[in-house]
Structure 1
Amino acid sequence: MSVSSPRADVDFHELAARIRTWGRELGFQQLGITDVDLSEDEAYLERWLAAGYHGEMGFMAKHGTKRTRPAELEPGTIRVISVRLDYLPPEVETTKVLGQPDRAYVSRYATGRDYHKLMRKRLQRLAKMIEAEVGTFGYRAFVDSAPVMERALARKAGLGWFGKNAMLLNPKAGSMFFLGELYTDLPLPLDAPFEQEHCGSCSACRSACPTGAIVDDKVVDARACISYLTIELHGAIPERFRADMGNRVFGCDDCQLVCPFTRFTRVSHETDFAPRHDLDRVSLLSLFGWSEEQFLERTAGSPIRRIGYERWLRNLAVGLGNAPWSSAIESALLVRLAYPSELVREHVRWALERQRRQRPALIPTQ
């Protein structure tokens, strides 16, 4: 954070109103301001970590209280500007693909370009607009790039409440949006936290979770979550979860798609979020046929790139194992039995066994 020296005559209430206007002009759908007291959320995080629900995500515990005490991460921070950016493009296929097991389901936030750079650039522009108004001040922008309690800060800033799936829900926008933060040392007036929760007795998200990862209201055991299994987990996917993964090969949106508030999801016209390479409807076989060079080329600037080609094939093998039998699928899997990675080969063997169980009796064994 830079050294702060804002003008002495700054009207911070007027400045906050301007910041909201600038946020809208930059394309953010919502903006709120909060303080840095996350003591309640810190206690929740400690219980969650103690239960081991974070699995292999060691980074969740690595930074200690820097995650829940913003001033420890960025000294001088007394306020956080939290922003929301909706990401669902128009005409993107969602639940339809889940009912077509020969197609790949990629979490809808990941079908287009990566959001990190886009949002960070806009937060930096917001900071420069503030600086032009008040003079030099301390700030730092974050977009899922550091130990930051994004959802907790957004709730305190009035952007929504925690649903039973532990995601942030907004009554007018559902949950299909990205969050970003601007840590600052400006004493801006605070927005009221979103205190009222609207889930009531609804438990659609818990019932819809394919692997039963939502173990209690607002508590997710990441070790059973398909998003964790397909993105964060580096080794073999436990066999007990593979059949329930269906055709979900990168992330999972089920708990969001069934939420009643999803009907209020606002369509995004950000061109960067439009699906690339038909990733909202492409076949599993087509993706499984990508070479490593094609994977690297076609996932450039995509959130998918971070899992690497090996885990990409691992996930697709599980999807193909869950697909209806076809000679083309069986042939493609047989070819991958020669792949150098044992991680891939093990999942391919599992998938082949699943396919062979479905093979019509009159089809000869290959």
Structure 2
Amino acid sequence: MQIGTYIRRQPSTLTGLPAAIGADLDSFASLRQKPERIVLLGTGSSMNALLAGAEALEEGTGASVIAKEPEAFLRLPPKASGQRTLVLAASQSGMSITTIEAVRLSVARGFPTLVITGEEGSLITEAGAEVIVMPIGPETVGPKTMGYTATVISVLAVAAKLANKAVDLSGLLAQLEQTAETGLAAAKDLITRFGVPDYILVAGQATHLGTALEASLKIAEISGVPTAAFDTEEALHGHVYGTTDKSLVIAIAQTATEAKVAANLGEALAELGPRTVVLNLSGRPTRFDLNVSWPTAPEQQWLAGCWAPIPLQWYGCELAIARGIDPDKMIYPNLGRRLNVRIRKEA
């Protein structure tokens, strides 16, 4: 299972990447002034990573933050105004057709535009924007895990730069390695306890809306189990009605208040049949918690968006194994090409 190598590589990537891109951040004209409006631009895992950093961007700059899929950006690009605007785009592959077109349009409209990608020399690096190329190397499997968390920490490094702060995770390597190993054990335990659910609902809010969306995407890509993600408040307003006694609800909690809400959800569903577990980063335990060792977080709680997905990445792999599927491959390996969402490299 090669994907496990990349999951285990995330601690060293997360702890080393802020320093690795620091000189680039210092050189970018787009980051020399705090923006008053930030437009996030991406799809799939890239958009999920941007959303995981959205609250940090807003908190650090006071800017209004708007998320736009590339098609929406192309259809209705932001209008020029007196507000200083930063367009922050992400594309791990650098080959997403509409993201490239949207970046080109942003540059043509005169907006300061910064792109985060994992592929040096990809087409998006030629679109005219300033570019962060994450020094993470290739992920030679279908579902990308390391690329996601590296994008999250890159977005948070941008947020810190705009807020005149520093991101330093260098002292957390051993703790993050423990998170990776206990996350695998927790994923195996979920399979032992619940088998393969008929449906998985993942709920999170603020930074962890991005975590929930990414976890849902990875579980579906790797295992093929029907999965959806919602903001926690949205999930509480009806979406759990779509679960059965064979379903699993995963609630992500960052604060004590969120842990209390997640526990209340678990108690309510326990009487009805659906199972609930809590990915609990709050320090306030509930009886539904997954047994994961989390880092002693720095003051900024939003940094947890970097490591929160790790147990659920493992869970997608363990679900695939339980279903007799190779976790290194997408459940439909060639679907992206058939849908024509990426530019194909010439042979």
Tell me the TM-score range normalised by the shorter chain: under 0.3
The structure with the largest alpha-carbon Rg is 1
Which is richer in helix?
2
TM-score if structure 2 supplies the norm length?
0.25
TM-score by length of 1: 0.24
